[in-house]
């Protein structure tokens, strides 16, 4: 099991990023959460199958079609045993 903390910067708020991230994570069978940050970025925590987590990181590098991702910072984290994916 893998777990990642992902910070996405660019035009990522107000473009349906969180909802699209929740849909993508759910489709990949991942648990975790996504939320907006005060600095205009979006942060995600995802955990699950290694390959699915890697696919979610790649998804975050693009985001939904309305987003303009300029930077993605990915950090390995310890799995927390999350059971669903939520917007926070």
The one catalytic residue in 11, 16, 36, 55 is 36
Q: What is the pLDDT of residue 2?
A: 97
Q: What distance in Å separates the CA atoms of residue 70 and residue 12, rounded to the nearest whole number? A: 9
Domain ranges of the chain: 2-80
**16 carries an active-site annotation:** no
Predicted confidence (pLDDT) per residue in 36-85, tens digit: 999 999 999 999 999 999 999 999 999 999 999 999 999 999 999 999 99
State yes or no: is 18 an active-site residue: yes
Q: What CATH architecture applies to the domain 2-80?
A: 2-Layer Sandwich (3.30)
Q: Which two tokens stand for residue 65?
A: 């079609």
Catalytic choice (16, 18, 35, 61): 18
Cα distances (Å, whole numbers) of residue 62 to 11, 20, 38, 83: 11, 11, 21, 25
**Nearest Cα residue to 37 out of 71, 2, 9:** 9
List, for residues 12-45, the tens digit of each pLDDT value. Answer: 999 999 999 999 999 999 999 999 999 999 999 9
Q: What is the pLDDT of residue 88?
A: 85
């Amino acid at each position: 099991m893998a777990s990642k903390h992902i910070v996405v910067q660019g035009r990522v708020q107000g473009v349906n990023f969180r909802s699209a991230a929740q849909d993508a994570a759910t489709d990949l069978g991942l648990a975790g959460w996504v939320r907006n940050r005060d600095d205009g970025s979006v942060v995600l925590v995802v955990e699950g199958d290694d390959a699915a987590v890697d696919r979610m990181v790649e998804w975050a590098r693009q985001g939904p079609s309305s987003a303009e991702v300029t930077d993605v910072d990915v950090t390995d984290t310890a799995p927390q045993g999350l059971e669903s994916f939520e917007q926070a």
